[in-house]
Amino acid sequence: MKAIRRFTVRAVMPEALASVEELALNLRWSWHEPTQRLFRTISEQAWQETNHDPIALLGAVEPSRLAELAADPGFVGWADSLRADLRRYIAEPRWFQALEDAPNGIAYFSPEFGVAAALPQYSGGLGILAGDHLKSASDLGVPLAGVGLFYRSGYFAQSISPDGWQQESYPVLDPDGLPLVVLRRPDGSAARIALALPDGRALYARIWVARVGRIPLLLLDTNIRENAEDLRGITDRLYGGGGEHRLLQELLLGIGGVRALTLAADLTDRPMPAVFHTNEGHAGFQGLERISKLIGEGLTFDAALQVVRAGTVFTTHTPVPAGIDRFDRSLIERYFATPELLPGVTRDQVLALGAETYAGGSKSVFNMAILGLRLGQHANGVAKLHGRVSRAMFSGLWPGFDVDEVPIGSVTNGVHAPTWTDPVLVSLAETRLGTADTTSADWLSPALSDAELWAARGAMRAALVADVRRRGHAAHENEGRIAPTWVDTILDPEVLTIGFARRVATYKRLTLMIHDLERFKRILLDPARPVQFVVAGKSHPADDEGKRLIQELYQFASDPAVRAHIVFLPDYDITMAKTLYPGCDVWLNNPLRPLEACGTSGMKAALNGSLNLSILDGWWDECYDGENGWAIPSADSAGDAAERDDLESAALYDLIEHQIAPRFYDRNADGVPERWVHSIRHTLATLSPELSADRMVKQYVSELYRPASQLASRLSAKGFADAKALAAWKARVVAAWPQVSVQHVESGGVDDVPQVGDSLHLRAHVALGSLAPDDVHVEVVYGHAESGDEIVAAGRLDLEVETVAGNGVEGTIAFGGTVPLERAGTFGYTVRVLPKNELLASDAELGLIASAS
């Protein structure tokens, strides 16, 4: 019989175990192995059965066990010492506290956060990245606050039908059974925020707070009695519902998130953040709420926009336009016609910020990525290649500029090493290399023998095999069946193991490995050099093509001839991943290049000494060096998708057969594959620091957060004087720009046959209309000219004002300068005019340019 409602009753903890409860409520335990050991000691069985969830663990053990532990001075002292360590960790100065001119706070908005399996508020890489960002920010002492939504059903639980079709279920989460507390007012009532909706309605949300080490994570929840029944379900599921449902989620995340931060600041005496970071476009509306607040302080919309832009960082994660949230313009018009939603901000002002104004854009849609770019003066992709792809994808917003001038940089993603590095490897580093920090350990040191490192890798592989078999038994038992004997033969702890686990989108090509079934079978069943695969991943519930790929792979893996060598694991989550990544010798990634923005699963494998086998896409494009794994050649020039799959799958098989398997099975007299272990050492030594989320967060602080904070502070000072002046200057420049042009360019100073060492003297006659020379800079762009007159490896030189009289060209100002001819070959140049203001983040910020023709 099924219950009509389910809720969690928390265990009453003996007073002596108060420290245990405090440890359970701070998610630092998810990456702090000593605290995990404490929980496992309470009950190893319950720890496994609750999927490593301390809150559930404490509710599952018998009160007599808690009483026994409370009476054990050794356990109580252990727990108290861990609590003291946690409090010290939270309070002590860390890396960030030694910085000068650092922001007083950063707000980090994301639609999902993957911190721990015990808080299932994530679907895939975007959420895991957000969780790792919070963790490293905590470790580094960065004063960051996370802002997201609390989804009552999370993403979805995945199961596979007998015929291989993905099935979704949505277990209802009880926040009282999660590591969350409600933000409360001084009178004890739950703090809540409200959004005005059309037709006089309102949407209310309470605020749950998760503690991620030093970092507060605010999660907004609409399932409260103040809301009408239909509105209570706004935060029901991650990425669920249609267009209007999704819009309401994003209004709540953006506008409601800023209001939640403001309320939390008032109630906890934390300062409002100086920098607002939006992790993808879903939270783009946060900028509009901040503009509305500044208008309430007396600023115009344009002046408020300058302040908000200065303090906003926008990170794009998608390499394709189809991955961007776009809403019907009519839907945006309806919601923002409600003046109480954003006081002082008009509907037309909102629509202009999300309009696709470039060639080929649609007038009928509102684009959240474009909103993010227009509200964020600081923008980045998540890998170097992705930065280049993003600059090309959004170049239409900056017509006339070369793609490499589009103001979108890159910060390559990283992963949180303490979360994703296996304890076996941590222990090895600690005992043999003198540090538990695997990202700084000297993995090339002779203090660690090849045999020891290989034994550690073997232990991690054996743990994966045991976990896969345990999951196989559990799957049968959950269906009321006895597991067949062949479940205990799935995988072999001595066999080369290749892993593939990620969101199952078609471009990631889950089934490329089985493109040639017969050849793939021969690889798996090779008697001398066998190979085994562990595969996992979820398809979006609405993606039937992704589900078909899972079905195809699952049905192949069910073949009795190969089922001991390939397995599909359903319900991929953080707990599974923490055994899967370390247990694989090779991590496979074969997307269609360049559609993988970053792809951090291979990073987590590399932190454990796994070698990568990947298309040169995402992070692998910049990190592959020939020793840390293998690059699958990308057949970009193939005639069609089928031919491309033929070529790239054949290249994949060739690498496994002729390079990977031979290297793995080539052993010395002690059974150690010396050449393979050399690659493991190299991977750990060179990639561990680069792939660390600590590196990523430090880069965000230095390259984005600090500049954003400093510029926002300047624009906010002295009654927003600079913001007002900048807004007025921009308006004046935009109005006058149609009259700006390069009328004529004169050159001289070189002989009929120019030689290296000559100097080219240039004078450009420029019409500025109502603008002054100080409003612009006129520059010559020069360099090697390829076919089509494209200038490559361009140099730039600002031309100086020579005469306002124009020297014979009426109505112009003459700008001149000298360009050195430093290299032989074809030389080309052009002259262009750009707006100039020290408060602009880049020359391209206004999207205005006047070039010589």
In contact, 39 and 19? CB cutoff 8 Å: no
* CA nearest neighbour of 654 among 638, 636, 635: 635
The reported pLDDT for the residue numbered 806 is 47
In contact, 628 and 687? CB cutoff 8 Å: yes
Tell me which DSSP letter residue 333 carries: H
According to the 3-state scheme, what is the secondary structure of 781-835?
A: EEEEECHHHCEEEEEEEEEEEEECCCCCCCCCEEEEEEEECCCCCCEEEEEEEEE
* CA nearest neighbour of 549 among 536, 566, 532: 536
Q: Where are the strands (E) in 368-448, listed by range?
A: 378-381, 409-410
The reported pLDDT for the residue numbered 7 is 62
Stretch (H or E) spanning 652: helix 641-655
Burial of 648 (0-12, 13-18, 19+ CB in 10 A): buried
Tell me which DSSP letter residue 511 carries: G
In contact, 123 and 113? CB cutoff 8 Å: no
Q: Where are the strands (E) in 213-261, listed by range?
A: 215-221
At which residue do the structure tokens 């500025």 appear? Answer: 768
Burial 820-834 (b: 16+ CB within 10 A, else e): ebeeeeebebbbbbb
Residues 452, 430: Cα–Cα separation, whole Å: 13
In contact, 444 and 627? CB cutoff 8 Å: no
Residues 6+ apart with CB under 8 A from 28: 35, 86, 89, 138, 211, 212, 213
Residues 564, 550: Cα–Cα separation, whole Å: 18
Tell me which DSSP letter residue 277 carries: E
Residues 775, 740: Cα–Cα separation, whole Å: 11
Stretch (H or E) spanning 690: helix 674-690
At which residue do the structure tokens 């356990």 appear? Answer: 75
At which residue do the structure tokens 């690659």 appear? Answer: 679
10-residue mean pLDDT profile of the chain (853 residues): values are 62 91 97 97 94 93 95 98 98 97 96 96 95 98 98 94 95 93 97 98 98 98 97 94 94 98 94 96 97 98 98 94 92 97 98 94 95 97 97 95 96 98 98 97 98 98 97 86 91 98 94 97 98 97 95 97 97 96 98 95 98 98 97 89 95 98 98 98 98 98 98 97 98 97 88 79 94 96 81 88 68 92 86 96 95 91
Rg of the chain (C-alpha set): 29
Tokens of 14: 């003996």
781 phi and psi, to 5 degrees?
Answer: -110, 125
Tokens of 539: 């398809």
Burial 677-709 (b: 16+ CB within 10 A, else e): bebbbbbbebbbbbbbbbbbbbbbbebbbbbbb
The reported pLDDT for the residue numbered 756 is 83
Residue 763 CA from chain centroid, whole number:
47
